[in-house]
Structure 1
Amino acid sequence: MDQIVAETVSCQNQINSFFDNQRIALLLKQSNVAKQYGIAPVVVMRMIFSLVFTGKNLFRYLQADDSGREIGKDTVYRFLNSVNANWRKFLHLLCAIVLNKKILPLTSTDTPKVFIVDDSLYNRNRSKNVELLARVHDHNDHRYYRGFRLLTLGWSDGSSFLPVSFSLLSSAQKKNRLAEAAEIDKRTNGFKRRAESLRKAPDVLMDLVKQARDSGISADYLLFDSWFAFPSTIIGLLELKQQVICMLKSAKTKYGYNGFDLTLDELYKSVFKRRGRAKILASVEVELGTNSNNETVMAKIVFVRARGAKKKWLALLSTDLELTDEEIVKLYKRRWDIEVFFKISKSYLRLAKEFQSRSYDALVAHTTIVFARYIMLELARRSAKDPRTLGSLFHAGCDELRQTSFAEAVTLLLTSLRQLIKGFGDKIAAPIAQALDAFWAQMPSLLRRPMLLPACIF
């Protein structure tokens, strides 16, 4: 029992530290999450934020006696259902602070940074009257569910993944929508969210990237799978100065090669393949189309041997022609980070499961809180495992390692010199050996540590 209490206190201390260090109260204020009555928004958010770490859910918390809880039911739902709150701006501000102050100082400037975009099923299969609820096709199960498409934009440096923004997409087709949006003021953020949910995913994708970059969050490449790999989408992203690496699917899309328009299958048959069991089979530069300035857009397609699949090869596309085939494959591997994020968010952070609400605003607010939980956990993991978070102790260790390498180099030189001196007579060798001993005695103590020096010197 004492151990459980101690763990609960430690978890709550970490949450409080996260809220204080990242200045969550200020971020909420800047995101138009204002206090309507007596309790500050940061207090309400801290309570909802902490639920999953204490083994509770919102329903059980609100069912408790008034004496057992600090915040009332009406206060919680006013916070979640606010149409004025700009939750996307809040997530942008939080990610920008964590990246600039915590993650980027631990990442080499030579390390490529990437955006990752993917969608996942936001399941509300038991719901009936949720705003904008739609029949959504799940690509994994190849069937339809009730819910939303959670289109998510993340950032990764290969060591850490941070969710930057998202959009809960309904269906652009009215026949697939099971409920329509509520009538609200068109000047509010809530109306903009609802209007965005009815747009197509590729169009929303470009808006997410543009808004993230305008918020000070940038990346060298954007990664996504074949569901978004349309030439029009890729060219549109290039016009935003965003390089792309993506998977391609064998479809009717054609690419220009040697004056011919070829499908992916035809293109694979036309290029020279490497012999043997090479992992990278071939690569070729193709024409994607023309941009708004009527300029031809070029890209590189890399064919990779597939493992454990019926198809013998997979195709990756890169708009950066200077990348090698190996670099393209290596960078695309980072796309798996967002799959891990979806798994943790749904299985452990209670995404779409913590409470049932009919308000679209409440769904967006809760999803933002779940993403903020993941950011806190990712920051704690990176701080615990990355040795550079030890501050001056790490840099002192690096300096000592550099001095140790120099000491070993000097030792090898002196050892070689002494071996050379042994070839001379005693009359010549003895004075030189005495001069070496006098020189070594004047060296710093770090360079004269016995563990660094071979026994033949002394």
Structure 2
Amino acid sequence: MHSITQTNHSENQLSDKMQYFLRRYHVSRILRSANAYKFRGVPVLDIFLAAFSSAFARRSFFMQIHLQPNTALFAKDTFYRFMNSCHIHWRRFTTLLAATIIRSTIAPLTSTDRVNVLILDDSIYHRARSKKVELLARLYDHAKKEYSYGFRMFTLCWSDGNTLLPVSHTLMSTENRKNRLCASSEKVDARTSGGKGRKLAQRKATEVMLHLLAEAKAAAIPARHVLFDTWFCSPASLLRIHKLGYEVVAMAKKTEKVHYLHEGVMQDVQAIYRKHRKHRGRSKYLLSVEATARKGNESIPVRLVFVRNRNNRKDWLVLVTTDMHLMEEEVIRIYGKRWDIEVFFKVCKSYLRLEKDCRSLSYDAMTAHVSIVFTRYMFLAVEQRECKDDRSIGELFYLSIDELSDLCYAEAVRLLVSLFAARVQERMLLDEGEVQELLQGFLAELPMLLSQNLRKCA
């Protein structure tokens, strides 16, 4: 009985935290801005909370109603109508919620000198053993090296180096009708958010990338650089992203099909690498050259930074950036932030039930489910940041810092004086040579940093 009471207490505490999260960031108002509202009946926020909390209850909404029918505030049909609605703009909801969290919580904890970035990547959203799901496609999974059924979950995230927040997403199908197992529903109006989302899912990944970046720009997501891997890196992408007002730091393709203008000649990165002398020893990079990315009549200067491949010391990789003010070490450091999105995908799939909770055949329901999973991750990210960052406790942090700083200095002086006095008291009569010997012994027993500073003062 004691364990059952403890479990109920933990669940109640978690429920209070989730409700506080929804109130704190005005999720009800953001849902209304995304066209999710009701004129009568159960409030939309209650339905959203039921979907949001299902992962933490370790069972789906259907199983909760089946096991505890008396605790449900609404019927399952109400929940399914909410999830299947084609009028709710779920990308706008995710973007506005991320912007609210960044502006009210993360920005006050982040220095203005810190580089904020947007990260683009995709991951396979598996729907195995399905054939009648809207826009379901046959895709190649590069991680498992095999074909599977599902979607490419194209995702845009924001990061300040410590906290990552999902900003937007699109469940992408394929342009090739031969690889598309099921067409989109003809009952959905093309003018609705669901209809527009279906059209976006069938466009090229580079076009979807620009669309998501434009939405983040309109929502005033604070970021200067965009990070992505070789899949989306091409001179055309660099030019179009730069037109949006962002700088790019990406992994360039090692292929003979992509060329950069270097020393008056259009050549690929392998040819550029062979012509120049490499840095030897323990240098952080092998080579750095300036080039020009050109597409048609448009061009932009870029910096190519060649680094050693950690997985294969004989191999090399190349980073490309449109920000010519960045030093080579800074380019490498900024691109290292891209790894956060891989951790994000792992958490969503392994712990937040991304591929388990939703078995609907509707494209709208799957889009809503992904946005709700992203909201769960934002909830955990805020909790993790505020537990880790002491500045989240507000003015008390600055008072504590001042008090601890004065206490540490006074304590250090007291220890120095008492230690030296103890050494002097060991002998009553000392000549100058013996005093110098004691002083040097005293300095030798101090920490290296204090000893060096005291010797400089002397």
Q: Same fold (TM over 0.5)?
A: yes
Residue in 1 aligned with 2:442?
none
Residue in 2 aligned with 1:208?
212
Q: Does 1:279 align with 2:284?
A: yes
Q: CA deviation at 1:265?
A: 1.1
Cα-to-partner distance string for 1:294-314 (whole Å, 9 max, x where unaligned): 453110010101112375111
Matched AA of 1:134: A
SS of equivalent residue, structure 1 residue 119: strand
Q: CA deviation at 1:315?
A: 0.5
Cα-to-partner distance string for 1:157-176 (whole Å, 9 max, x where unaligned): 00100000000000011111
Residue in 2 aligned with 1:57?
60
Alignment check: 8 A CA contact 1:58 1:355 kept: no
SS of equivalent residue, structure 1 residue 222: strand
Alignment check: 8 A CA contact 2:83 2:369 kept: yes
Q: CA deviation at 1:391?
A: 1.2
Alignment check: 8 A CA contact 2:284 2:329 kept: no
Alignment check: 8 A CA contact 1:33 1:84 kept: yes
CA RMSD of aligned residues (A): 2.2
Q: Does 1:334 align with 2:332?
A: no
Cα-to-partner distance string for 1:353-390 (whole Å, 9 max, x where unaligned): 11300000000001000000000000000011101012
Residue in 1 aligned with 2:20?
17
Cα-to-partner distance string for 1:123-180 (whole Å, 9 max, x where unaligned): 0011110000001111112221100000000000001000000000000111110000
Residue in 1 aligned with 2:120?
117
Q: CA deviation at 1:406?
A: 8.2
Cα-to-partner distance string for 1:281-333 (whole Å, 9 max, x where unaligned): 11001111157xx4531100101011123751111111101101100000111
Instruction: Supply the distance in 2 between the matched residues of 1:216 and 1:238 (Cα, whole angstroms).
Output: 17
Matched AA of 1:223: L
Cα-to-partner distance string for 1:425-455 (whole Å, 9 max, x where unaligned): xxxxxxxxxxxxxxxxxxxxxxxxxxxxx9x
Residue in 1 aligned with 2:242?
238
Q: Does 1:345 align with 2:348?
A: yes
Alignment check: 8 A CA contact 1:134 1:146 kept: yes
Residue in 1 aligned with 2:433?
none
Q: CA deviation at 1:255?
A: 1.1
Residue in 2 aligned with 1:6?
9
Alignment check: 8 A CA contact 1:152 1:165 kept: yes
Residue in 2 aligned with 1:316?
319
Q: CA deviation at 1:45?
A: 0.6
Query: 310-319 or 132-141, which moves further after superposition?
Result: 310-319
Match of 2:194 among 187, 190, 196: 190
Instruction: Supply the distance in 1 between the matched residues of 2:59 and 2:333 (Cα, whole angstroms).
Output: 41
Q: Does 1:392 align with 2:400?
A: no
Instruction: Supply the distance in 1 between the matched residues of 2:259 and 2:295 (Cα, whole angstroms).
Output: 13
Residue in 1 aligned with 2:446?
none
Alignment check: 8 A CA contact 1:223 1:245 kept: yes
1:393-432 aligned at under 5 Å gives the runs 393-400=396-403, 403=406
Q: CA deviation at 1:227?
A: 0.3
Q: Does 1:376 align with 2:379?
A: yes
Alignment check: 8 A CA contact 1:59 1:355 kept: no
Identity of aligned residues (%): 41
Residue in 1 aligned with 2:154?
151
Alignment check: 8 A CA contact 1:83 1:190 kept: yes
Unaligned runs of 5+ in 2: 418-453
Alignment check: 8 A CA contact 2:138 2:148 kept: yes
Task: Give the 3 Å change call, closer, same or farther, for CA 36–346 of structure 1 in structure 2.
Answer: farther
Q: CA deviation at 1:409?
A: 11
1:439-454 aligned at under 5 Å gives the runs none
Q: CA deviation at 1:279?
A: 3.1
Unaligned runs of 5+ in 1: 415-453
Instruction: Supply the distance in 2 between the matched residues of 1:311 and 1:191 (Cα, whole angstroms).
Output: 49
Alignment check: 8 A CA contact 2:235 2:295 kept: no
Question: How many residues are paired up?
Answer: 413
SS of equivalent residue, structure 2 residue 286: strand
Alignment check: 8 A CA contact 2:86 2:194 kept: yes
Instruction: Supply the distance in 2 between the matched residues of 1:35 and 1:324 (Cα, whole angstroms).
Output: 53
SS of equivalent residue, structure 1 residue 280: coil
Match of 2:102 among 99, 103, 118: 99
Alignment check: 8 A CA contact 2:239 2:299 kept: no
TM norm structure 1: 0.86
Q: CA deviation at 1:344?
A: 0.3
Matched AA of 1:124: R
Residue in 2 aligned with 1:288?
293
Instruction: Supply the distance in 2 between the matched residues of 1:329 and 1:216 (Cα, whole angstroms).
Output: 26
SS of equivalent residue, structure 1 residue 219: coil
Alignment check: 8 A CA contact 1:290 1:297 kept: no
Residue in 2 aligned with 1:219?
223
Residue in 1 aligned with 2:92?
89
SS of equivalent residue, structure 1 residue 127: coil
Matched AA of 1:286: A
Matched AA of 2:176: Q
Cα-to-partner distance string for 1:197-233 (whole Å, 9 max, x where unaligned): 0001111001101111101113110000000001101
Instruction: Supply the distance in 1 between the matched residues of 2:300 and 2:128 (Cα, whole angstroms).
Output: 43
Cα-to-partner distance string for 1:44-64 (whole Å, 9 max, x where unaligned): 110111111111113312434
TM norm structure 2: 0.86
SS of equivalent residue, structure 1 residue 54: coil
